[in-house]
């Protein structure tokens, strides 16, 4: 995914500093390259400045901060088509540099469009799919002499997904925009209008926003906001909403990285989520209870939390299946029936794979319920019902607080489902309600132990993460964190499964992280530890506080407070988040901007 931004001043102010800040606030969406297009107040022509690398690198090597403009667009890229270089950075322009476009999404038919346009004499400079857009606009503008009409014609030629912001000399007072399948939000400020991929771009200046829908097209100018829908002309304009976040939540504050801040925010995030989810959970409980079958669908961390839900719900007779979003069609697509329910889990609400899975299920008549963190998200718009968590904006690429708030949400939802059956689940809920306090009380201990272990594991190239039952999704999530943030090849297996092959990899000093829960699997996990230990494995165990048996067998331990067995496992992920974070920092890596990744994967 990429981040696009645009700003137009209502009062003839220089917007360059704010445009730069908008883009910085979107950099978690991709940081391979960045670029700006604006109308230079002197030259009245479009100036494009762009380069490979992060925004900070760009600012250090360009003179954009000396420029003056009242209207501009910008882009921060996560490359999909075309290598990471200056030419492939956005914005892209038409043959004469009179139309500049920034784009998030993928144009599937760009090669045939490019060939058609080249035959018409258009000259392309980049390898990107995006560059067909300004050339199409140039072509259709010649016919209609109206940018909005040209844009509608151009968009109808595109196959794929897009969120675009456009600047053109033909109508230099306006930023044109359109979306289909990728997020685009309009911010309404006192002094400016904002166009952005996500709310943090303009949150420090306004909380008033409009979430565009597929087919929405329009423009903002100094004095006007125009929105129409070219797919459904009768569609009412989007409703203005108040963003429920404050700017401090989208800033690092005194923390060195967003990831550490968001790990430490988990007590508050979980507390807010328990409250915010409880009400909505009542509205979905009957859907889940009466479903022919419940599929819980997500990607990455959202799949692992979905797996936690499957283990948990099965304990209470609620049949469900956690499904990796990108495998949904092949694995279960053919089995979907009209009275099935899809619980789609996505913190961003923009993950392409999850949205595709939902669209497939919808086409077969299934009911869609989503659990999201981003209330302006596409997934929320296409769901029959949606639950918005209270985690607040998560800027770090690694999911941390949104993972634990997803688990908290599943526990609250389960309570509501069991209530309909007259089953008491109060003990577990009371245990969940102690989590914020227990986490706060243990965060420093977790942090110190994680830092100590990070200094040992940082030189390793491989690791196992093992767990059983509810410990398995936690082990999977812990392994993902170390992989994606510290670049250590860490694999997770069900502890019982590890002896069916993977144990062949274990040799002297091989790191084995084990989730030891206070449950019926305890003795089996102890046995698995012994199997690893006798082959030279270095045992790093997360154990119930005071578990001397596990402690004596392990080389390094982190003690986890004993809570209800259905709630306690969510505590275990926090030291694993901190372990990944400190290992990355010890290795001199940026935990907020891990290589090759972006916060939300909005492409195939």
Binding interface with ligand AGP (CB under 6 A): 299-302, 346-348, 351, 354, 397-399, 480, 484, 600-601
| Residue 123: CB minimum distance to ligand AGP, A | 37
CA–CA distances in Å: residue 530 to residues 296, 297, 461, 534: 34, 35, 22, 6
Output the furthest CA–CA distance in the chain (Å, rounded): 79
The residue number whose beta carbon is nearest to ligand AGP equals 300
User: What is the smallest separation between the CB atom of 301 and ligand AGP, expressed in angstroms?
Assistant: 3
- CB nearer to ligand AGP: give 150 or 397: 397
E strand or H helix that includes residue 371: strand 367-372
Does residue 599 carry a catalytic annotation? Answer: yes
The string over 309-344, giving b where at least 16 C-beta atoms fall within 10 Å of a residue's C-beta and e elsewhere, is bbbbbeeeebebbbbbbbebbeebeeebeeebbbbb
Task: Report the residue number, 88 or 301, with the smaller CB distance to ligand AGP.
Answer: 301
Copy the structure tokens of residue 395.
């800027």
Taking residue 62's Cβ as centre, other Cβ atoms within 10 Å add up to 16
CA distance 547 to 514: 13
Nearest by Cα to 492 from 457, 530, 529, 466: 466
Query: Quick one: 134 or 300, whose CB is closer to ligand AGP?
Result: 300
- Residue closer to ligand AGP, measured from CB, 69 or 405: 405
Task: Tell me if residue 315 is catalytic.
Answer: no
The answer for residues whose C-beta is within 8 angstroms of residue 568's C-beta and 6 or more apart is 431, 517, 518, 544, 560, 561, 562
Nearer to ligand AGP, 368 or 480 (CB): 480
The active-site residue out of 416, 481, 483, 599 is 599
The owner of tokens 């509501």 is 416
CA dist 492 and 206 (Å) reads 43
Least gap, CB of 326 to ligand AGP (angstroms): 10
Nearest to ligand AGP of 158, 598 (CB atom): 598
Q: How far is the CB of 45 from ligand AGP (least distance, A)?
A: 39
Instruction: Convert 81-135 into a string of H (helix), E (strand) and C (coil).
Output: CCCCCCCCCCCEECCCCCEEEEEEEEECCHHHHHHHHHHCCCCCCCCCCCCHHHH
CB of 299 to ligand AGP, least distance (A): 4
**Angle, vertex CA 427, rays to CA 422 and CA 432, nearest 5:** 115
Report the nearest approach of ligand AGP to the CB of residue 485 (Å): 8
* 3-class secondary structure per residue, 391-422: CCCCCCCCCCHHHHHHHHHHHHHHHHHHHHCC
Q: Choose the catalytic residue: 2, 67, 280, 593.
A: 2
Q: Between residues 208 and 587, which has the closer beta carbon with respect to ligand AGP?
A: 587
Q: How far is the CB of 52 from ligand AGP (least distance, A)?
A: 23
For residue 57, list its beta bridge partners. none
Q: Known catalytic residues?
A: 2, 599
């Amino acid at each position: 995914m990429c981040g696009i931004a645009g700003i137009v001043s209502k009062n003839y102010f220089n917007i360059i500093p704010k445009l730069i800040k908008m883009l910085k606030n979107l950099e978690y969406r991709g940081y391979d390259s960045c670029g700006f297009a604006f109308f230079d107040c002197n030259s009245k022509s479009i100036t494009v400045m762009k380069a490979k690398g992060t925004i900070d690198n760009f600012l250090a090597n360009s003179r954009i901060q000396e420029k003056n403009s009242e209207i501009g667009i910008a882009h921060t890229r996560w490359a999909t088509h075309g290598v990471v270089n200056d030419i492939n950075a956005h914005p892209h322009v038409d043959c004469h540099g009179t139309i500049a476009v920034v784009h998030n999404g993928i144009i599937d038919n760009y090669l045939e469009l490019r060939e058609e346009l080249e035959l018409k004499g258009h000259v392309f400079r980049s390898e990107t799919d995006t560059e067909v857009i300004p050339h199409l606009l140039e072509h259709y503008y010649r016919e209609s002499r109206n940018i909005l009409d040209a844009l509608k014609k151009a968009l109808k030629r595109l196959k794929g997904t897009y969120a675009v912001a456009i600047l053109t000399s033909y109508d230099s007072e306006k930023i044109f925009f359109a979306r289909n399948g990728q997020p685009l939000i309009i911010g309404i400020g006192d002094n400016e209008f904002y166009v952005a991929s996500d709310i943090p771009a303009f949150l420090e200046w306004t909380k008033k926003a409009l979430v565009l829908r597929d087919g929405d097209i329009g423009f903002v100018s100094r004095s006007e906001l125009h929105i129409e829908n070219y797919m459904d002309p009768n569609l009412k304009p989007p409703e203005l909403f108040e963003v429920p976040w404050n700017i401090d939540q989208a800033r690092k504050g005194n923390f060195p990285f967003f990831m550490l801040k968001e790990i430490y925010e988990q007590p508050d995030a979980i507390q807010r989520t328990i409250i915010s989810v409880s009400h909505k959970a009542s509205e979905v409980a009957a859907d889940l209870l009466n479903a022919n079958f419940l599929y819980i669908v997500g990607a990455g961390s959202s799949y692992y939390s979905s797996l936690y839900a499957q283990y948990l719900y099965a304990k209470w007779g609620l049949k469900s299946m956690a499904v990796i979003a990108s495998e949904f069609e092949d694995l279960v697509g053919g089995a979907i029936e009209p009275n099935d329910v899809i619980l789609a889990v996505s913190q961003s609400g923009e993950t392409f794979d999850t949205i595709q899975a939902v669209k497939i299920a919808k086409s077969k008549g299934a009911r869609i319920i989503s659990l999201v963190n981003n209330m302006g998200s596409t997934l929320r718009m296409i769901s029959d019902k949606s639950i918005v968590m209270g985690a607040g904006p998560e800027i770090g690429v690694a999911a941390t607080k949104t993972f634990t708030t997803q688990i908290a949400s599943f526990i609250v939802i389960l309570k509501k489902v069991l209530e309909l059956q007259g089953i008491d689940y109060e003990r577990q809920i009371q245990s969940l309600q102690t989590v914020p306090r227990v986490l706060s009380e243990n965060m420093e201990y977790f942090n110190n132990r994680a830092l100590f272990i990070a200094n040992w594991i940082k030189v390793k190239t491989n690791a196992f993460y093992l767990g059983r039952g509810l410990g398995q999704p936690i082990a999977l999530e812990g392994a993902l964190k170390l992989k994606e943030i510290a670049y250590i090849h860490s694999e997770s297996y069900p502890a019982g499964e590890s002896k069916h092959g993977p144990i062949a990899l274990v040799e002297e000093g091989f790191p084995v992280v084990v989730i030891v829960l206070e449950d019926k699997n305890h003795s089996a996990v102890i046995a698995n530890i012994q199997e690893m230990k006798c082959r030279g494995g270095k045992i790093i165990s997360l154990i119930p506080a005071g578990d001397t048996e596990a402690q004596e067998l392990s080389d390094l331990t982190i003690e986890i407070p004993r809570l209800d067995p259905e709630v306690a496992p969510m505590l275990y992920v926090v030291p694993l988040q901190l372990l990944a974070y400190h290992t990355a920092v010890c290795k001199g890596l940026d935990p907020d901007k891990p290589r090759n990744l972006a916060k939300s994967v909005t492409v195939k």
